[in-house]
């Protein structure tokens, strides 16, 4: 049974979606929105993310036939008409579940990323980063009626977090462009823990927790330690591999949990952290990139 659904799980890159709910929850925590209002946005943003995964493979089909023939579509494990149908269904379901300007903008960014990434890696990286930043902003009520429509209506901590998400994903996306090179001597991996540390430090300034509290300090230290592990492995190998991209992406979960701790949502933070070992295990069977 599992062998039959495994190609679909690989097609969806399902482990990656485990990093998505925390974006919305972190945004809601930063905006002070009750978590009782988040199930719909969480589900909708997850569906939009899965739409992006499927649309990406459909757009890259010819390239994958040459360079990644083991992927579900080029290997024939998934029929092309069914793949197209699922892709459209995911986009429609996301919009039906959250019919807001924010979701329209998110789906537009996902589509633009897939269409432009080959022509301009820089534009692709910026659009991918915008998608993850928008996921957090949707959780914070941006462009869905729970807060003002314009950036001036967002608090400093929400803007800092959105920039933190944006920069982190932009750096990981650019690093992913090197994952199939035999060698890749670059300082780019070192920027990732530095960016996370700077962003988290600024969020601590606006946290309602006392700055001397261990709860305000330990999450940032823990995140920094986790982010340095793939950096050191890249340095040892002298090359970037898909497992490193997966390791960096999985850092979104402790990052989201850390934000929830800073904004006094410790119970939900623990729930998110339970997804971290699940994702690390799933990536061994289902590649994250």
* Domain that residue 193 falls in: 20-33+101-283
Q: Are 261 and 271 in contact (CB under 8 A)?
A: no
Residue 231 CA, chain-centre distance (Å), reads 19
Whether 41 is covered by a domain: the verdict is no
Distances (CA, A) of 46 to 97, 103, 138, 186, 267: 11, 11, 12, 32, 21
For residue 52, being part of any structural domain is answered with no
Are 25 and 38 within 8 A, CB to CB? yes
Residue 4 lies in a domain: no
> Residue 80: inside a domain, yes or no?
no
Q: Which pLDDT score, from 0 to 100, does residue 54 have?
A: 93
User: Long-range contact list for 35-41, CB < 8 A, 24+ apart?
Assistant: 35/265, 35/268, 37/146, 38/139, 40/97, 40/98, 41/98, 41/138, 41/139, 41/144
Instruction: Decide if 259 contacts 26 (C-beta within 8 A).
Output: yes
> Would you say residue 252 lies in a domain?
yes
Does residue 201 form part of some domain? Answer: yes
Tokens standing for residue 237: 């190998």
Q: What pLDDT, on a 0 to 100 scale, did the predictor assign at position 146?
A: 47
Q: What pLDDT score does 150 carry?
A: 46
Rounded distance between C-alpha atoms, residue 248 and residue 15, angstroms: 13
Residue 149 lies in a domain: yes
Tokens 């952290």 identify what position? 273
The C-alpha atoms of residue 236 and residue 138 are separated, in whole angstroms, by 39
H or E element: which one contains 32? Answer: none
Assess if residue 193 is contained within a domain: yes
pLDDT in tens, the chain (289 residues): 656 788 888 888 888 888 899 999 999 999 989 999 999 999 999 999 999 999 999 988 888 888 888 888 888 888 999 999 999 999 999 999 999 888 999 999 999 999 998 889 899 999 999 999 999 999 998 876 544 444 555 788 999 999 999 999 999 998 988 877 777 777 888 999 999 999 998 998 888 877 667 777 788 888 889 999 999 999 888 888 878 888 898 899 999 999 999 998 989 999 998 888 887 777 777 766 6
Q: What tokens appear for 173 in the block?
A: 């996306």
Q: How many domains does the chain have?
A: 1
Are the CB atoms for 166 and 57 separated by under 8 Å? Answer: no
């Amino acid at each position: 049974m599992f062998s039959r659904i495994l190609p679909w799980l690989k097609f969806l890159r399902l482990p990656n979606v485990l990093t998505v709910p925390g974006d919305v929850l972190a945004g809601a925590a930063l905006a002070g929105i009750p978590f009782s209002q988040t199930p719909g946005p969480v589900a909708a943003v997850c569906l939009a993310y899965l739409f992006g995964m499927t649309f990406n493979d459909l757009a890259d089909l010819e390239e994958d036939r040459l360079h990644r023939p083991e992927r579900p579509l080029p290997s024939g494990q998934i029929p092309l008409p069914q793949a197209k149908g699922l892709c459209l269904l995911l986009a429609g379901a996301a919009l039906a579940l959250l019919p807001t300007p924010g979701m329209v903008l998110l789906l537009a960014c996902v589509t633009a990323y897939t269409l432009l990434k080959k022509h301009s890696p820089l534009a692709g990286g910026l659009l991918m980063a915008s998608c993850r930043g928008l996921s957090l902003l949707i959780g914070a009520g941006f462009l869905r009626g729970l807060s003002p429509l314009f950036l001036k209506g967002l608090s400093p901590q929400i803007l800092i977090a959105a920039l933190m998400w944006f920069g982190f994903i932009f750096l990981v996306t650019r690093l992913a462009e090197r994952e199939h090179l035999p060698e890749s001597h670059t300082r780019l991996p070192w920027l990732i823990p530095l960016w996370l540390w700077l962003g988290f430090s600024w969020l601590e300034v606006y946290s309602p927790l006392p700055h001397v509290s261990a709860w305000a300090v330990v999450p940032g230290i823990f995140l920094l330690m986790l982010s340095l592990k793939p950096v050191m492995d890249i340095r040892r190998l002298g090359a970037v591999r898909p497992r490193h991209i997966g390791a960096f992406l999985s850092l979104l979960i402790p990052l989201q949990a850390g934000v929830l701790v800073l904004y006094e949502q410790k119970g939900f933070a623990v729930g998110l952290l339970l997804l971290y070992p699940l994702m690390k295990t799933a990536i061994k069977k289902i590649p994250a990139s």
